[in-house]
Amino acid sequence: MDEKIVLVNVHSVTNAGDEALLISALQQLESNFPGSQVLLSMNDPQNYRGNRVVWSFIPAWVLPLSSP
């Protein structure tokens, strides 16, 4: 059975450390769950150039972008 995995709290690939953590996490998921579908929930989805499905960071759906 192919698992569906959502990786949450991914920050941005424009930060080298965050990108390295993302790459490592994806490699480990692929190694341990071959054939799984991995979806990313990112703070900065517009800069991601990989081949994964990407959503905006989940709180962005419910929280206002600015406070009054």
Angle at 20 between CA 17 and CA 26, to 5 degrees: 140
Q: Are 33 and 64 in contact (CB under 8 A)?
A: no
12-36 confidence digits (pLDDT tens):
899 899 999 999 999 999 999 999 9
pLDDT of residue 44: 86
What percent of the chain stands above pLDDT 90? 46
Establish how many alpha carbons lie within 13 A of residue 14's alpha carbon, considering only the half-sphere containing its beta carbon.
6
Res 62 pLDDT > 90? no
Between 62 and 55, name the one with better pLDDT: 55
